[in-house]
Amino acid sequence: MQSRLIRTDGLAQQVLEAGEGPLVLLIHGFPELSLSWRAQIEALAAAGYRAVAPDMRGYGGTDRPKGPENHTILHLVGDMVDLVRALGVDACVVVGHDWGAPVAWHCALLRPDVFTAVAGLSVPFQPRRPKGPPTAAMAAITRRAGLGDLYISRFQAPDAHEALDIDPATTLRKLFWAYDGATPAEQRSTGFLPSGVDLLDTIDDAATLPPWLEPAHFEAYVAAFAAGGFAGPLDWYRALDLNWTQTRFLQDQKILQPALFVVGENDPVRLYAGAHEAGLKDWIPGLTRSVVVPGAGHWIQQERPEVINALLLDFLAELGTLGTVL
């Protein structure tokens, strides 16, 4: 496994890669890095695939342009198209986790010629709302239900990243712990925040590193976010309404490629995104499997690497029988 910098159209992307063979592109989420895919890169390479995981726009060793207008879903998909081309191939399978899952789903929607199959982990495909931008509706629904603010609503504030920047080690330790499947249910984050209470203040100060996260890997996360901060990552959230405006042409469009969805049974994200799991087959007719991993939380490819590796390899093997070009 090696790391290198690849210059694509307008962006320098740091990637972690290994193996030779058909390309599998691995897209991380928040607050993560290409490092989050270390177990999958090794397993895919050993099975005869070329596995490549970039630090995404705004993260780690990849360029960090400023402002939500530079972090739209169209930018993120475009980055992945440029990366595939820079790697010297025409097509690949794309896999995304957390925020990387919506990017992967949109890669499949926007460029089916490049992304011939797609797997999403933890976050199901959510079709474009027909009735207006999402953030105002999100805030109104959660408050009307007496749930307070969803953290995504709080992240819309232009200075929301500053609280996370104060102590990146504490921020990361708390977030990894609060969304881990092994954390007691009553201490896992719900994602909903009472009025006047910040996200990190809802998580126990005694939070410890999850058992799957080795100290050396945690230190790599901390170093990356200490250097780059959380402004770029939160700009992905602050671009949600802009994404809605720019993707009108995708209204009611379905994903037609073969697809896989995997989620952890104890993933707190299911509290606010889980309703979309039931309708996945309606929007993704080629969905081959939808898997709930018992006991797993949000960081599913790190919590259950053997399970995710096996599911991905089975999915890739199935693509050959379906006639999908890898």
Q: Indicate which residues carry an active-site annotation.
A: 98, 298
How far CA 95 is from CA of 3, 6, 110, 141, 165, in Å, comes to 19, 20, 15, 30, 28
Residue among 72, 95, 238, 229 nearest 164 (CA)? 229
Using alpha carbons only, give the angle 189, 190, 192 rounded to the nearest 5 degrees.
115
**Helix spans in 71-167 (H):** 73-86, 100-110, 134-144, 151-154, 161-165
Burial class (CB in 10 A: 0-12, 13-18, 19+), 55: buried
Residue among 263, 309, 318 nearest 288 (CA)? 318
Residue 237, φ and ψ in degrees, nearest 5: -70, -40
Whose structure tokens read 């959510």?
126
Asked whether the beta carbons of 49 and 316 are under 8 A apart, the reply is: yes
Please count the CA atoms within 13 angstroms of the CA of 256 that sit on its side-chain side: 6
Query: CB neighbours (10 Å) of residue 130?
Result: 8
Please report the beta strands in the chain, taking only residues with DSSP state E, as ranges in sequence order: 2-8, 11-18, 23-27, 50-54, 92-97, 115-121, 149-150, 192-193, 259-264, 287-293
